Amino acid sequence: MKILLVDDEKLQLMRLERIAKELLKDDELVSFMNPLEALEAAKTQSFDIAFLDIQMPVVNGIVLAKTLKAANPKVNIIFVTAFDSFGLDAMKMHASGYISKPVTAEKIKAELAGLRFPVEMPPTKRIKVKCFGNFDVLCDGQPLKFSYSKSKEVFAYLVDRAGAAISLAELNAVLWEEDHSSYLRNLIVDIQNTLKSVGATDVFYKRHNECYIDPEKIDCDAYEYKRDNPDAIRMYTGEYMSQYPWAVFVQI
């Protein structure tokens, strides 16, 4: 993530920087004491989150927030101020959050946990799997197109099992009440062909009467959540593979 910090008071900015660095070790921080410099940066750079002091000379935080919103409507604005009277203005801006000074790690954590626009994790692998909300599979940023919608559900179940080998009998029992073993084999072939078409055959494996995926070959929000990745934690809103009935019983 790219995060903007703006406060015209040096000590306050230093405090905000120190806490942000502790909580957001892997993210890029850009800070300004001069709101005019921040305004220029906002015109040319895209930020995911902006911590803005409201009461500043010449250009206050509300004006700066409007410029940021114009450049990126989904930027998360978090106002930081000692003056509660600005709260109404902050709400009118549809801000993600509002922190009263003095800034503390606990206050920042609370705002990061409830961002208005959760920040997408940058992909590190070609195959990206989204489990939060509706399940989806992407390759190089484009949705992967299976020939059968049920193939995608089979793949979803294997993602949920995170690399554990699943027997075809178990898959059949999860997806249907009756025996559909012949159809299931067609779905597995569809998965193989779909992944082969994008050069990702190393993601899925079939042997004898069982199959599995290699979790190290995909980016997955649910896997990152279990690794305590802060970005993944912020993205999770309580829904997991919501289009599949069996996923309702999964504990994240």
For 66-114, write each residue's pLDDT tens digit.
888 888 888 889 998 876 655 545 555 556 778 888 899 999 888 887 7
Query: Please, what's the b/e burial string for 5-22 (b: 16 or more CB within 10 A of its CB; e: otherwise)?
Result: bbbbeeebbebbeebbee
Q: Where are the domains of the chain?
A: 2-113, 127-249
In CATH terms, is domain 2-113 a member of 3.40.50.300? no
CA 87 to chain centre: 28
pLDDT at res. 84: 61
pLDDT at res. 186: 96
For 28-74, write each residue's pLDDT tens digit.
999 999 989 998 888 888 898 999 998 888 888 888 888 888 888 88
pTM exceeds 0.85: no
pLDDT at res. 214: 97
pLDDT at res. 204: 97
For the chain, the average pLDDT equals: 88
Rounded to 5°, angle at Cα 51 from 50 and 56: 115
* Helix, strand, coil share of the chain (percent; to 5): 45, 20, 35
pLDDT at res. 1: 83
pLDDT at res. 229: 79
3-class SS at 57?
A: coil
CB 68 within 8 A of CB 77: yes
What's the rounded Cα separation, in Å, for the pair 55 and 216?
Answer: 47
131: number of Cβ within 10 Å: 25
Tokens of 151: 């193939």
Domain range 127-249, CATH class: mainly alpha
What's the rounded Cα separation, in Å, for the pair 219 and 88?
Answer: 40
Question: Is 153 a residue whose pLDDT tops 60?
Answer: yes
Q: Same topology for domains 2-113 and 127-249, yes or no? A: no
Q: pLDDT-derived band of residue 123, with 50, 70 and 90 as boundaries? A: low
> Which residue blocks in the chain are alpha helix, DSSP H?
10-23, 35-44, 61-71, 87-92, 105-113, 149-160, 168-175, 181-197, 221-226, 230-235
The DSSP symbol for 251 reads -
Tokens of 207: 């042997």
3-class SS at 237?
A: coil
CB 144 within 8 A of CB 192: no
Question: Is 163 a residue whose pLDDT tops 90?
Answer: yes
In this predicted model, which residue has the larger pLDDT, 232 or 200?
200
Q: If you average pLDDT over residues 208-232, what whole number do you get?
A: 90
What's the rounded Cα separation, in Å, for the pair 77 and 93?
Answer: 9
Point out which residues pair with 99 in neighbouring strands: 80
What's the rounded Cα separation, in Å, for the pair 70 and 90?
Answer: 16
Range name among 215-219, 236-240, 244-248 with the lowest pLDDT average: 236-240
